[in-house]
Structure 1
């Protein structure tokens, strides 16, 4: 690649604002009273759908063709964790706070722009600061400088990076197949609980608490902040998984949150707001984190239910449906503590619980384990891809 660049651009690569090379087109605020999940109308691409590349929300009303998204379009989510994706499915509609890159100049290949903007979004995200929810404007995107190497160089870089992404797609497909198998075994194994009595969740826990939001209580990411502020994003099934983007709090704030959450080893964490149903287990030993409001802290009664069994139980499709049926909220879905306490769950003997946990833990490690199985391999491939992407997309800038 270096030889090709030296041959075609010996003086370096010119950088231009993205807005001079393509149009940043914003989505539209479609009326939510015409949303549905029954497949009526066209799929509606919301921020959460940019990451997954799929939408389970449909819009049945009238629309302008300007907001139609076609397969291959480059989409960017403008709130939260900024992400770019290429839409791979049928036509869909572009909702608000999602933008599309379009009308590319001949200087910039759309496929090259997609890989370049991925890295730029990471840099923009880290530079924005410490607000709880980060927002990106189309003007910021338009001002973002991107390199414009010769088209032949762009084409070769795309060819190399496509090989990495194709391997990721294969691993993701295999992982999805294993997840479907896991869900099947969840149903089969939990059939052992069919003859068990059903009790309200509140009967098998001795406490149900939540964390604390900053508001007037504390500030996030102060200079002395060294403890993680855990939200739904960091709940990884059985583990709490902070990232470089996880907000932090100082020791005083940690103590303030602890006064409300009273975290201790063996507690079960459950997200009751937003993305409902994410879970984690509070581990033994000292922890350097605490949770936000809306992450519920459940303390199992050990002679009635094991913590790992409770987590597996909360994650089964049938119980997730019960919990979602109890949720309310038009903008942000939420299940109240009182509603969660009243959810009916099967309660087999502790020996049966232990057997179910032993079987499902093996599948959990294969499908969701961070250090083993397919997730670990996929994470390694993504890290490798990001390394080569950044290396290939870093150029010596031409003199002004």
Structure 2
């Protein structure tokens, strides 16, 4: 939905120091001191990853570059260049500075061109986000939030003299430069820790983590024995269900195997469908309810690597009874089947508690996993491992810039299955080692939060005129 309030009144009533302007600084509407250029509705059928002209989409606003190309005719007015200020007109109303070279501007993104005689472009970059957040906070959210060009043009910006704007920008740039250095070091440390965690997961899933354990322990059963037991129990459950009387049981799909694939002694390969109790299905596609209801649906961003975030939901206009086939139970593994980012498509999230009032989104697939919690953890780990994701991404297909993976694609991905005793030992060691890294991870989050707060403090001081 779009913003409908009196923006000038909201600004006057706001206690946010970032929308404060010194009393001797007049306010001018953005549309009076800058030109707003809307993006063009390019045909998505001509989107691709290598041919034509780079295309800036709403997801590219913050990062300032794109991986999408448009192979077709275009208008010169829809062009952008390095240094252009872009705004996402849906969702969070993000502001970004483009540095991806000449590109085309897609719909739902606009560029703002400051009048150089009145407004410094860098000053605008610093001052505008707080006003867009104020608009966003006061825009109804029963559907996706929309920012109109008319609302954007009405933003009442504080407008000190141009020389003062430039002095403010110079001082903010200087202070932010020190923070940039610290944040770059923090980003490197975070990347190193992330790399370590990935290598840890890879070692766990390939068996390197427990090579010493295997040498000292002979398992009572092999991975093939465990898989046989799972499949037999799965079939017995299916046969016992009266709804299946008279029907022929279909074996779950086995994975496609690489002739050169190697496993430690005693391990087996399995497909994810083989490791479930059945009941695999895509989620339900429904529009969000404008009023609270008895059923909530997970948003796609609720699927987090460490489990489902139950706070990221929306109300849905259906009954508990209608939602029953899509409700979530402990041991369900949710896999994202569509996303614009290669890092997010195919990502899994393990459900660890049961919810009758919450269902999963249509962009996810539910796999009810067989067995005890430690087996659920193993399957989640195995699916998330770098080598598994590489195999999965090789099967993903791109449609209009969105990566998609189907149930059939997922079924072909092989997952390693160790003997149950070793599986338990791997999960125990992995969780213990991961816990040791948690303190460092939390410290980095605290430092990043402190740096972000300091940036806001600097900007607040700048807009009070305290830095000049």
Change over 3 Å in CA distance of 1:170–1:371 after alignment to 2: closer
1:272 pairs with 2:272:
no
Query: How is 1:94-133 mapped onto 2 (pairs within 5 angstroms)?
Result: 94-133=105-144
Question: Could you list the runs of 5+ residues in structure 2 that have no partner in the other structure?
Answer: 1-20, 209-261
Map Cα deviations across residues 181-200 of structure 1 (whole Å, 9 max, x no partner). 44444444433394143222
1:232 aligns with 2:300: yes
2:315 matched residue in structure 1: 249
| TM-score, normalised relative to structure 2 | 0.67
Task: Select the residue among 361, 364, 367 that pairs with 1:298.
Answer: 367
- Checking the alignment, whether the CA contact within 8 Å between 1:367 and 1:375 is kept in structure 2 is no
Q: Does the alignment pair 1:146 with 2:147?
A: no
TM-score (normalised: structure 1): 0.76
The structure with the largest alpha-carbon Rg is 2
Q: Within the alignment, does 1:27 sit opposite 2:39 as a pair?
A: yes
Is 2:296–2:359's contact at 8 Å kept on the other side of the alignment?
Answer: yes
Q: 1:166 and 1:343, CA in 2 relative to 1: closer, same or farther beyond 3 A?
A: same
Query: Aligned in 2, Cα 1:169/1:82: closer, same or farther, shift over 3 Å?
Result: farther
In structure 2, the CA distance between the partners of 1:62 and 1:214, relative to structure 1 (3 Å rule), is closer
State the number of aligned residues: 380
Structure 1 distance, partners of 2:398, 2:152, is 32
Separation of aligned partners in 1, 2:155 and 2:415: 52
In structure 2, do the counterparts of structure 1 residues 292 and 108 end up closer, same or farther at CA, with 3 Å as the change threshold? same
1:214 pairs with 2:286 = yes
Q: Which runs of 5+ in 1 are unaligned?
A: 1-8
1:176 aligns with 2:191: yes
Q: Hey, what does 2:205 align to over in structure 1?
A: 190
CA distance in 2, matches of 1:211, 1:258: 10
- Provide the aligned C-alpha RMSD in A: 4.0
Match of 2:388 in 1: 319
SS in 2 for 1:306: helix
SS at match of 1:105: coil
Q: Are 2:414 and 1:349 equivalent residues in the alignment? A: no
Greater CA drift, 93-102 or 162-171? 162-171
Alpha-carbon spacing, 1:284–1:241, altered in 2? closer, same or farther (3 Å): closer
How much does 1:142 deviate?
1.6
Task: Name the CA distance, whole Å, in 1 between partners of 2:426 and 2:67.
Answer: 31
Preserved CA contact (<8 Å) 1:240 1:280: yes
Structure 1 Cα separation of the partners of residues 289 and 461 of structure 2:
35
Alpha carbons of 1:376 and 1:312: their partners in 2 closer, same or farther (altered >3 Å)? farther
